Amino acid sequence: MDFDPANIDVATGLIWFLAFLFSTTVHEAMHALAAWRLGDDTAYQGGQVSLNPAAHIEREPIGMVVLPLLTSLTQGWAVGWASCPYDPVWARRYPGRAALMAAAGPAGNLLIAIVVFIILRIGLAAEWFVSPEHVSFDSIVELAAGGPSFVTTLLSVFIVMNVFLCAFNLLPLPPLDGSAILNGLLPDRHAVRLQELQSNAMMSLLGLVIAWRLFPMVADPLFLVLLRLVHPFDSYS
């Protein structure tokens, strides 16, 4: 089940990068769309209510292109970041709406994962795909007629990428989306105070460090749950 970066090739690395670019674009576009519909047109005016990655790359070229491309080609896993502009005054005035905006990003990743899951289950039921003898993040299924392929690698990477992006961003730590979602569950006066604390740069840095240390402990169990959903009659450990 472990991903071995030593086995990665350029083609697989590019699949990871493209999956990250598309998935992150959807994530940020969902934030922007939700904010626009809920009364904040900051991202809309910036052109980020769009599935064109150019608008998002222009805002975060290092996080959207340079770092994920580098890590995809060398580590076998895309690491990066993106951001969506919003009006902090609007967020303080309407913490519930800000929470919905925050939830929209992970929801976009979850939607992608569900679509890919349906494709995988249909492919397995139709016997186009089979369970691999050894699974990894980029090999959840194989072609029945010929083992791993571009299609099965692409589907595997997309579902893993989006399940992980959704779960990671839901961690209730600043500056991740989960912290803003948590605000939406609190009374307004407490939500505003928590927002002020979360806006502190040191708190955001601390939150990222904790999330980076915490998520690897979540990733393997989450991957096993995903495998059980895709292959309910097979056993992987």
Per domain, the residue ranges of the chain are: 5-230
**Portion of the chain with pLDDT greater than 90, in percent:** 72
Q: What is the pLDDT of residue 5?
A: 46
Q: Return the pLDDT at 211.
A: 92
Whose tokens are 């576009």? That residue is: 29
* Residue given tokens 């492919």 in the structure block: 123
Question: 22-31, 176-185, 193-202, 207-216 — which is least confidently predicted?
Answer: 193-202
The answer for residues whose C-beta is within 8 angstroms of residue 192's C-beta and 6 or more apart is 92, 95
Other CB atoms closer than 10 Å to residue 236's CB: what's the count? Answer: 15
Instruction: Tell me the pLDDT of the chain averaged across its residues.
Output: 91
Report cis status (omega within 30 of 0) of the bond before 175. yes
- Under the banding of pLDDT at 50, 70 and 90, the label for residue 231 is very high
pLDDT range class, residue 140, cuts 50, 70, 90: very high
CB 27 within 8 A of CB 108: yes
pLDDT at 7 exceeding the cut of 70: no
d(CA 29, CA 50): 6
Q: Is 113 exposed, middle or buried (0-12, 13-18, 19+ CB in 10 A)?
A: buried
User: Is 98 within 8 Å of 194 (Cβ atoms)?
Assistant: no
The whole-angstrom separation of Cα 129 and Cα 143 is 5
pTM of the model: 0.92
Q: Are 137 and 227 in contact (CB under 8 A)?
A: no
194 — pLDDT class (breaks 50, 70, 90): confident
pLDDT in tens, 152-170: 999 999 999 999 999 999 9
Q: Judge contact between 63 and 17, C-beta under 8 A.
A: no
Q: Report the distance separating Cα 125 and Cα 46, nearest Å.
A: 44
Q: Is pLDDT of 83 > 60? A: yes
Mean pLDDT of 13-24: 97
SS3 74: helix
pLDDT 10s digits, 21-62: 999 999 999 999 999 999 999 999 999 999 999 999 999 999
